[in-house]
Amino acid sequence: MTVPLAASIIELVLGMSLGPFSESALRNRCSLEGITWEPQDEGGVKVGIRNFEATALRLASGSLVFEIGRMAVHGLVGQVRSESGALQLSSVEAIEAELSGVKLHGPLVMPVQVQKVRDALPAAGSVAPSADPVGRHAAPDVPSLGPLAQADGTIRGQIMDAHLLFDADVTVPIRQGQIDFNDATVEHVGPDSRMGVSRMGIYVDAPNGRSYVYQFPSTPLAGVEFERRGALLGAWIFERGKLRLQAFAEAMLRQSGSASQGLTEQARLLLGRTALSGDVQLGDAPFAVPGLQAHMEGRSDGRNALVLRSEALGQGLTVEMPSISARDAVATWASVQLACNTIMARLKLQVTVDGSHMRFVLDIENCKVAVPRLQRCEPA
């Protein structure tokens, strides 16, 4: 069996509208095999589909566009119920699903519901230390970035611009989820500069004086160990300070304002002319952000490693995860909650900047999902 039944199932499940079907364009092609239909109590129906396959799908929801090159779902069972005379798909579960050629793209705008959640959170300076450091019981709408606690890698920046006093190569190592500014280097012609963190923010001590790259909106800030000086007034700095990435990033997400507000004007100019590269291996731990939570795993096999690159941060950034692996994933989209036992995939996120507008493209390949489940959420 092909469209329109299969296509209507996709629209019902994802809450998005398929583009117009065209045989010549070979778009939005779907097929079903092994369909069963079993009436249930109170007018419900249990629907079984042995194999469900769709190719060249293009769906839209507002300004977002969702494309799927191929999707194959095996052992699908769904519950359909009648509401106000219309059939509604209330839940779906399958044995496994495979996806390839998946692309989600559109303007990068924070959803209203995410903004409300962030604004409702307390400021970073007033957050009490968590009694659950790994975030096992964190609510989905409370940021919990456990994989950063074991992160290892190196971030490299190259500032090349004739308008600056000097070109510079910046290297920031990350070890066991921590940035130690004593190990960070800023190399350029003449005496090298040093990076550090004070109560005012993250700074660079250059031959011509100190300048701040990022100024903190409030102090004390979680996850920050500030610089320390000798006992005498004006004594040299013997400790440049440290950042514990998980606590610091979670605190920044809880700030009521945008994180970009702390960037100084000089830093904005520098970032616009800075090439970036980096490799960061994340740890095995739970994470949760508004609308999404999962438990990352596979560090010993090299999974969940981030590859960062940008020719100029002022123009955009590319983040790749050659092999993402997670379990117990739950995502909420509109009135739908998606969950699965395990998921493995290859991800690539591209963010481009054009003036005040930002756009993103998320590519997903080689995606395998074990026991995917969908549940309709009751309206609040």
Which residue ranges make up each domain of the chain?
A: 5-94, 112-323+347-363
Q: What is the 3-state secondary structure of 83-148?
A: ECCEEEEEEEECCEEEEEEEEEEEECCCCHHHHHHHHHCCCHHHCCCCCCCCCCCCCCCCCEEHHH
* Contact between residue 57 and residue 68 where contact means Cβ atoms under 8 Å apart: yes
| Residue 108 token pair | 């990068």
pLDDT of residue 18: 53
Taking alpha carbons only, the member of 57, 64, 70, 73 closest to residue 18 is 57
Beta-sheet pairing, 168-174 with 152-159: antiparallel
Distances in Å between the Cα of 174 and the Cα atoms of 194, 251, 271, 335 are 16, 18, 20, 39
H helix or E strand, kind and range, residue 294: strand 292-296
Taking alpha carbons only, the member of 201, 199, 203, 174 closest to residue 186 is 203
In this prediction the pTM is 0.81
Looking at the chain, the number of H-run helices and the number of E-run strands are: 4, 26
Q: pLDDT of the chain along its 380 residues, tens only? A: 444 445 555 555 555 555 554 444 566 788 889 999 898 877 788 999 999 999 998 888 788 898 999 999 999 999 888 777 677 778 899 999 999 999 999 998 754 434 443 343 334 333 333 333 333 333 456 789 999 999 999 999 998 754 555 588 999 999 999 999 999 999 987 788 999 999 999 999 988 888 888 888 776 578 999 999 876 655 678 899 999 999 999 988 877 544 555 677 777 777 788 899 999 999 999 999 888 999 999 999 999 999 999 999 888 999 999 999 999 999 987 778 899 999 999 999 999 988 778 999 999 999 999 999 998 776 55
d(CA 75, CA 35): 10
pLDDT of residue 357: 87
H helix or E strand, kind and range, residue 247: helix 245-254
d(CA 28, CA 59): 9
* Contact between residue 124 and residue 218 where contact means Cβ atoms under 8 Å apart: yes
Residue 138: φ, ψ to 5°: -70, 140
